[in-house]
């Protein structure tokens, strides 16, 4: 039986599934099968990016699945090299072509560097003409997000940032709530680092609910009303990650997990100048 996934309502009234499927770091040659399996399992939000270089495979999977377009929520992202008003619009068209779609449900600026002002104004235009039903950002820390909101017309509908039990981003979420921006998590399982799946607190709570550590970590996020997009190429794990909505963590369990916050990323530091310089030089066939 298909799992009924709850939705959140974005600041422009568009409804977005609370749980979706991400394809970051899935090789292009495996992506079509993975997305077909995810859609078969019941996922309806699919998250990709031009920089992942697997949009074509996502598009083939969407076409093969035959699911009505209005039942799907498709997100992709604009890479830094295509920032700027004119180049952003051209890159959007290329992403649509690769995906085989005539519109996107959510289009994101992938990083807060380069001419993201010009790119954002292109996204505002795409949103106004309906080709992008909602627009947002990714990896924007509170200062950059506040700056973008203050000096532009459209408030981002979502901000997709690294968020998990080891890096909880509560101050980020507070700011987003004040401005009506939906918090979305990438890397909700910390990419398995820092002995994530052996964490004693998570293991203990998982045993209490007869669930996996991954399910507990994902449930903790969705109880905070954070959209999550876990990734897997294994159908059994895809099904497990969907199975979050027939149990609930207690207030005490939520508080125990809250104590795991390290306050820093174990994956990628967007404040490190060397990392910023590296990102600015990365080029893809977008």
Active site residues: 52
List, as own/partner pairs, every contact residues 270-278 make where C-beta atoms lie below 8 angstroms and the sequence separation is at least 24, other chains included.
270/111, 270/112, 270/139, 270/141, 271/141, 276/113
Q: Can you state the angle between helices 200-209 and 251-258, rounded to 10 degrees? A: 160
Tokens 């003409």 belong to which residue? 129
Q: Where are the alpha helices (DSSP H) in the chain?
A: 28-41, 55-65, 85-99, 116-128, 142-150, 170-179, 200-209, 213-223, 235-242, 251-258, 273-281
Residue 275's SS3 state is helix
- Residue 57 token pair: 């495979």
Retrieve residue 227's tokens.
């959209």
What is the distance, to the nearest Å, from the Cα of residue 221 to the centroid of all Cα atoms in its chain? 13
Strands of the sheet containing 158-162, edge to edge, are 21-22, 45-47, 73-78, 106-109, 135-138, 158-162, 182-186, 227-228
Distance of CA 99 to CAs 93, 119, 183, Å?
10, 20, 25
């Amino acid at each position: 039986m298909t799992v009924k996934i709850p939705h959140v309502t974005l600041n422009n009234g568009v409804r977005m599934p609370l749980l979706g499927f991400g394809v970051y770091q899935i090789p292009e040659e495996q992506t079509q099968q993975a997305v077909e399996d995810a859609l078969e399992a019941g996922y309806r939000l699919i998250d990709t990016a031009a920089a992942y270089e697997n949009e074509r495979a996502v598009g083939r999977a969407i076409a093969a699945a035959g699911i009505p377009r209005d039942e799907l929520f498709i997100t992709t992202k604009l890479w830094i090299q295509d920032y700027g008003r004119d180049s952003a619009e051209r890159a959007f068209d290329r992403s649509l072509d690769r995906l085989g779609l005539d519109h996107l449900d959510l289009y994101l600026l992938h990083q807060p560097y380069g001419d993201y002002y010009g790119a954002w104004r292109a996204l505002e235009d795409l949103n106004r003409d309906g080709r992008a039903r909602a627009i947002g950002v990714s990896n924007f820390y509170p200062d950059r997000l506040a700056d973008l909101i203050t000096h532009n017309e459209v408030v981002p509908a979502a901000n997709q940032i690294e968020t998990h039990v080891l890096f909880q981003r509560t101050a980020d979420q507070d700011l987003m709530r004040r401005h009506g921006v939906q918090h979305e998590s990438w890397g909700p399982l910390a990419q398995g680092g820092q002995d994530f799946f052996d964490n004693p607190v998570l293991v203990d709570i998982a045993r209490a609910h007869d669930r996996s550590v991954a399910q507990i970590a994902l449930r903790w996020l969705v109880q905070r009303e954070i959209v999550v997009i876990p990734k897997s190429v294994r159908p059994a794990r895809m099904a497990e990650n969907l199975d979050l909505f027939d149990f609930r963590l207690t207030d005490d369990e939520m508080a125990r997990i809250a104590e795991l916050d390290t306050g820093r990323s174990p994956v990628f530091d967007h404040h490190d100048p060397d990392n910023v310089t590296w990102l600015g030089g990365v080029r893809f066939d977008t």
